[in-house]
Structure 1
Amino acid sequence: MKRNDHLKYPALIEKENEEFIVTFRDFPNIRSRGKTIDIAKAYAIDALLYAFEDSFLNGRKIPKASHQKKGDVIIEVPLSASRKIKMLNSNAIRNEL
């Protein structure tokens, strides 16, 4: 896989009080927070991975990322997780046929 094979999801980062909050259009129930933008982004990756795991455990496919909009940042899923997710999504599609 090439570097561009990472799953990438657009996110919005907003400052709320003394923390940075990360939210995703594609996963409206996910919110992560951190005292710095980098920490909030790191927690956002963890939150995405937990959401992926929950989706697969409950028989749901992982949605494709929506297009980046102005003001969004891209949260990149680690390559090892991206590979696994793509494989599991592919298997889920085959099972639906």
Structure 2
Amino acid sequence: MPKPIRFSRRTWVAGWVLLCGAGIAATAGLDAASAPDPRPEEPVSAECAEYIADIETQLAKAKQQGTDDGILAFSRSKVGADDCSDEIRDHFGGDR
């Protein structure tokens, strides 16, 4: 039976470092390749834009009056009005 080839400790360490480096590089490449494309900005309906402007006006009023405690409630009483919850969330940064 032939005698196995012996490697020094430095050779083993260098081999492991090389394999780990290749694995990290491959993982970084795959992560970069699979990053989702940014969502295209969709136009906001006129009704939602008006509602967002109304919210901003009320927020500015509350700030001027010194009642800007971070809590404001809004309600819509119109039946059949557009659902603007996604647009409001996007506008005020609720998607973070």
The structure with the larger Rg is 2
Q: TM-score, normalised by structure 1?
A: 0.25
Higher relative contact order (CA 8 A, sep 6+): 1
Report the TM-score when normalising by structure 2.
0.25
Q: Which is helix-richer, 1 or 2?
A: 2
